């Protein structure tokens, strides 16, 4: 059965891999992001009856509403919303971090996800069908130095997903939080403001997750039978693990 799948942040990384996979499996996909050139490139040579681009910024509440309202009838009943658009900015300690970076992460990872969900969810409830997949992170569960505001936005995503599940009791609408660990995408380039040396060094000597590893987990969660809700999936590469508690020993 072909679904209509709307993916935020489909111009790169996990979002693009999801677009490739769901399209390849026969679903209709709505690809979104701010970089129009990438959206144009993605849809070139694909069937316009099965892929539809919309260019907007999830931080702009009115643009979100206008973008969804602009969907052609054939794409307007969204079966799956993948709230993937997001970013980390900086790795400074909290007392040295930039407030503008915190604002951008809150506006994108939290408020953008809320705007998308609030715009799409009523129609899913009316149709008593649909699936919201949020992209959280291991950073939402585990603290690390420099993860301050970014990790907190992902903790929000985790608890918002749980609370959606609570609100949606009695409907057939499903919700899932996907919580990846180290994965190589443009994530670190964005985090380090396109300092490619710094970004590359994050992955040096590791075998990180790939965008398709995450897309496949998302596809699996979405493709379960309608009575099955996957609440959360936490995924790390084998090379990633936990640190011990650390102590500041004096004297
Ligand atoms: P990428 O940087 O490769 O992709 C991020 C996507 O988000 C891009 O398509 C970008 O599109 C979009 N985006 C960013 N800001 C906005 C905005 N304001 N409006 C609309 N779209 C926006 O990173 P990933 O694929 O790694 O990241 C995807 C998600 O996965 C994020 O939520 C991230 O926090 C999360 N994550 C990443 C991990 C990793 O290690 N890579 C691990 C755990 C979670 P455009 O710039 O065109 O707008
Ligand atoms: C991205 C994973 O560990 O860089 O969410 O925060 S991490």
Residue 176, domain extent? 4-235
Give the residue, by CA position, lying nearest to ligand 1 atom 36: 137
Chain-centre distance for alpha carbon 57: 14
pTM of the model: 0.98
Q: What are the residue numbers of the active site?
A: 150
Nearest ligand to the C-alpha atom of residue 105: 1
Which two tokens mark 104? 């951008």
Query: Tens digits of per-residue pLDDT, 230-244?
Result: 999 999 999 999 999
Residue 225 Cα to ligand 2 midpoint, Å, equals: 30
| Residue 202 resides in a domain | yes
| Residue 86 resides in a domain | yes
Residue 8 Cα to ligand 1 midpoint, Å, equals: 8
pLDDT value for 251:
76
Give the residue, by CA position, lying nearest to ligand 2 atom 6: 139
Place of tokens 């891999």: 17
With a cut of 50, list the residues of the chain below it in pLDDT: none
| Residue 140 resides in a domain | yes
pLDDT value for 212:
98
* SS3 of residue 16 by DSSP: helix
Dist CA 185 CA 87 (whole Å): 11
Give the residue, by CA position, lying nearest to ligand 1 atom 44: 137
| Residue 199 resides in a domain | yes
Give me the number of domains the chain comprises: 1
| Residue 246 resides in a domain | no
| Residue 219 resides in a domain | yes
Question: Of 157, 137, 124, which Cα lies nearest the Cα of 226?
Answer: 124
pLDDT value for 79:
98
Q: What is the CATH number of the domain that holds 176?
A: 3.40.50.720
| Residue 248 resides in a domain | no
pLDDT value for 160:
99
Whether the CB of 34 sits within 6 Å of ligand 1: yes
pLDDT value for 117:
98
| Residue 131 resides in a domain | yes
């Amino acid at each position: 059965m072909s679904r209509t799948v709307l993916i935020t942040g489909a111009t790169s990384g996990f979002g693009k891999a999801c677009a490739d996979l769901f399209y390849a499996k026969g679903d209709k996909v709505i690809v979104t992001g701010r970089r129009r050139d990438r959206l144009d490139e993605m849809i070139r040579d694909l069937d316009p009856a099965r892929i539809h681009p919309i260019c907007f910024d999830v931080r702009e509440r009115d643009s979100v509403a206008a973008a969804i309202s602009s969907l052609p009838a054939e794409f307007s009943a969204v079966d799956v919303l993948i709230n993937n658009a997001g970013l980390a900015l900086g790795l400074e300690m909290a007392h040295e971090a930039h407030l503008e970076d915190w604002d951008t992460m809150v506006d994108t990872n939290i408020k953008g996800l809320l705007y998308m969900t609030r715009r799409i969810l009523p129609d899913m409830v009316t149709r008593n069908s649909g699936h919201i997949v949020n992209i959280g992170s291991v950073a939402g569960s585990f603290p690390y130095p420099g993860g301050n505001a970014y990790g907190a936005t992902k903790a929000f995503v985790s608890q918002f997903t749980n609370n959606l599940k609570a609100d949606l009791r009695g409907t057939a609408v499903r919700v899932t939080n996907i919580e990846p660990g180290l994965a190589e995408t443009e994530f670190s380039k964005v985090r380090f403001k396109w300092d490619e040396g710094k970004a590359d060094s994050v992955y040096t000597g590791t075998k990180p997750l790939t965008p398709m590893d995450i897309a496949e987990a998302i596809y699996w969660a979405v493709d379960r039978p309608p009575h099955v809700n996957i609440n959360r999936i936490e995924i790390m590469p084998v090379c990633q693990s936990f640190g011990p508690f650390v102590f500041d020993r004096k004297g």
